[in-house]
Amino acid sequence: MRIGVLALQGDFHEHIQSLRRLGVQGAEVRLPGDLDGLDGLIIPGGESTTIGKLAVTYGLLDAIRQFGRNHAIWGTCAGAIFLAKEAHRPQPLLGLMDIVVERNAFGRQTESFEIDIDIPALARTGNGHAPPYHAVFIRAPLIESVGDGVDVLATLDTGRIVAARQGRFLATSFHPELTADDRFHRFFVDMTR
């Protein structure tokens, strides 16, 4: 199995390391041809405007949409923004997921935070019980609203949505690639099967 990680900008190397811990080979994707033969794609954290502009210039917008017709795609933070259909700002988006995101929803960097959240969907990767998930939010977006057919996987105490799945597509506002907890990467690897 080979899972691609969009390597235009951001913490793609951290995702590749997380995959390696699971025995899965990660491949850097910078050009449309790099998608050939991959079983899934992760869009990492980074700056969504930077990633979007580079994706447009190098023909990746349509290539990734095409790839998404029969492959799983997961976006973390900037990647979740990039997957969304709407982000309230003029910037290139894939529009693959029926979610609306609010960028920098918690404020600037001094409001970035770590917190434990409950994610019942992760129970299937263990023995039916999911200990709290330690999530790192960095200048993070929120998923403001989701359309029909989108499952909400995690919310904060305030009820605001921070993880969602729509069929082959997964979006998280936080960064599983920054922690040693591999459950989200396992969850995504299962989605690619």
Partner 1 sequence: MEKQTGTIAVKRGLAQMLKGGVIMDVVTPEHAKIAEDAGACAVMALERVPADIRAQGGVARMSDPDMILKIMETVSIPVMAKCRIGHFVEAQVLEAIGVDYIDESEVLTPADEAHHVNKHDFKVPFVCGCRNLGEALRRIAEGAAMIRTKGEAGTGDVVEAVRHARAVLGDIRRLQTMADEEVFAYAKEIGAPYELVNETRELGRMPVVNFAAGGLATPADAAMMMQLGVDGVFVGSGIFKSGNPAARAKAVVEATTHFRDAHIVAEVSKNLGEPMVGRQVTDIPSTELLAGRGW
Q: Out of 4, 10, 40, 176, name the contact with partner 1 by CB under 8 A.
A: 10
Q: For partner 1, give the closer residue by CB, 114 or 151.
A: 114
Active site residue 77: yes
Give residue for tokens 């794609």. 41
CA quadruple 2, 175, 95, 36: dihedral, nearest 10: -10
Q: For partner 1, give the closer residue by CB, 44 or 166.
A: 44
Active site residue 177: yes
Among residues 79, 107, 103, 94, which one has the least CA distance to residue 164? 79
Residue 168 within binding range of partner 1, rule CB under 8 A:
no
Interacting residues of 165 by C-beta distance below 8 A, sequence separation 6+: 121, 150, 151, 153, 171
C-alpha 121/C-alpha 156 separation (Å) is: 15
Residue 160 within binding range of partner 1, rule CB under 8 A:
no
Return the CA Rg of the chain: 15
Q: Out of 113, 118, 131, 151, name the contact with partner 1 by CB under 8 A.
A: 113
Q: Could you say which residues in the range 12-31 bind partner 1, by CB under 8 A? A: 12-14, 30
Q: What is the DSSP letter of 1?
A: -
Q: Which residues are catalytic?
A: 77, 175, 177
Residues that bind partner 1 (CB under 8 A): 7-14, 30, 45-47, 49-50, 53-54, 57, 77-78, 89, 103-104, 107-116, 132, 134, 136-139, 175, 178
